[in-house]
A and B are shown apart, each in its own frame.
Chain A
């Protein structure tokens, strides 16, 4: 009798989960498996031929330009993550602890607005601002300073990454900071912990999960982004996503591009898994 009910419930639950499972399987697992399979195909006379040969992997992983791009992309994403988290934190802290509920609601609303416009449009507008004869350098020239080259440098790329990730990271951090039990902050002060010290000894540990999830989002978005390094960074040095474009353009090398794509996905899986594990690890 009891087992019948529990079985019934399982079927009921499974029915609701089914659409999601089907969707994930068809549009995530299957393409991923195909991408992986594609990385073993061959190209003959500019045409792809199905096969199962590890030559693409050997070729790509033995090339210095692949590892240079990998290292550069990883470092840029890491720098963007650190900068974004550091800029976002004071802002989120202010929104979570120093503003009224109404102000916080409006702020979160305004942080969502950037997502209304295409990322590409926002990046183009940065070109106008960052260009050698753009808004910033015009202002610097007005002050009698030499123009500061930002477009087609890593500065440009980082500005693009921040444009992409900062609003999202601020929202995630603000939400996790707002959920902190205020009495814990009061308790820390009550036990002799000064205002600034409270931030590091109590608030950051309490908001750890939200802060790490925000950072992971920033890393994932920056690591895989193609628009910023292309339009603001001038593709030099190339990131992995630009390497994919270049590889497909040169002689229809889709299988080699698949090698790059699979290595990117594996990297992100490892990073995300490690970060989430760290976020939920108990500290004593």
Chain B
């Protein structure tokens, strides 16, 4: 029994000369929360629009529920979408917006009202049923857009950066609303975003795209701890990327010679590496320990502090090691009180061998 709901097979999308999506192949499982993440212009929204039928693939196949969708009109697909702009109809009030999809499918006025009210209640906006869209706040509009998309009980919901216009605290609330809904309904969510925190907080699987191609597919944890290449390591932020060459290789331990000194790292199982080979080591900023006295640890480096970024409970320190190599370290705000942090302070960074990650080229 095949459990994929959506299959993209070698999908290509050209806009004139511009290649928006190239050779895109992906299977999306039933009941999965999949996030497609990437920088602006990476083709993630185009991919979603092709799934909804709003853009036609130049070549390749898109199947939904085992049926080839290439020539199916958008209005005949059951792939409701929550738009980045929300795209609520300004000439209809809240409940009429929610009823829209039901009306198009020929439900009677009574059925429409009952179903729409059920969804408004479920999303806690039933008191606004007869309001105009212009009278709602951003968060309330968001919920109307969700209700409108879900009222027809689809098997899949497409979301195109739906939270990008909301305030930070509302984003967190809507994230929990979305994950809870997805679990309760047990339907597939395909969520397009450029925000790492949204993708990692909600998705079962994350697809990272760049320049129209898939760079990596994996769980948030896999992508965070083991980025597949330099682009992803840089894209998901707060990573230290250290270039160097292999000095020594023993069983499953590699010693890497870099400008800042030698570092040891566990050897990845899948890669066969030779001594002298150049490679990149990724150490994410949150696995680094900062101390004033030189600690006993696998990897230690002395740095001078050049700056700090304070965003609440977490502080990011920016430091410089010898050879001009910059390091980032994230530590808890309460830990920083024991440290002497002035510009130019000498501090020691350390991390265990197992926390480093070798980038496959």
Contacts and interface: CB of A to CB of B under 8 A. Distances in A.
Interface of A: 181, 183-184, 186-195, 197, 202, 205-206, 208, 282-284
Contact of B83 (A183, A192, A194): A183
B295 to A, nearest CB: 55
A40 B96 CA distance: 54
A192 B104 contact: yes
Nearest to B158: A190
Contacts of B76: 192
Interface in B92-109: 92-93, 96, 100-101, 104-105
B255 interface: no
A206 B53 CA distance: 23
B31 interface: no
Contact of A184 (B52, B87, B96): B87
Contact of B105 (A192, A202, A208): A192
Contacts of B52: 190
Interface size class of B (residues with CB under 8 A): 20 to 34
Interface in B37-76: 49, 52-54, 73-76
Given A194-B73, A195-B75, A186 B132 contact: no
A283 B100 CA distance: 15
A183 B96 contact: no
A184 B90 CA distance: 9
Contacts of A192: 75-76, 101, 104-105, 152
Nearest to A182: B87
Contact of B104 (A183, A184, A193, A284): A193
A194 B89 CA distance: 16
6 contacts: A190-B74, A191-B149, A192-B101, A192-B105, A193-B75, A206-B91
Interface of B: 49, 52-54, 73-76, 79-81, 83-85, 87-93, 96, 100-101, 104-105, 130, 132, 148-149, 152
A198 B98 CA distance: 16
Q: Is the interface of B mostly helix, strand, loop or mixed?
A: loop
Contacts of A186: 49, 54, 74, 83, 87
- Top 3 nearest A-B pairs by Cβ distance? A192-B104, A187-B87, A191-B101
Given A191-B152, A193-B104, A284-B130, 14 more contacts: A183-B84, A183-B85, A184-B89, A186-B54, A187-B81, A188-B89, A190-B80, A191-B100, A192-B152, A193-B100, A205-B91, A282-B91, A284-B92, A284-B132
Nearest to A197: B104
Contact of A282 (B81, B105, B132): B132
B159 to A, nearest CB: 12
Contacts of A190: 52, 54, 74-75, 79-81
Max count, chain B CB within 10 A of own CB: residue among A181, A187, A283: A187
A189 B54 contact: yes
Contacts of A205: 89, 91
Contacts of A191: 75, 80, 100-101, 104, 148-149, 152
A184 B133 CA distance: 14
Contact of B75 (A189, A208, A282, A283): A189
Contacts of B96: 284
Contacts of A183: 83-85, 87
A188 B100 contact: yes
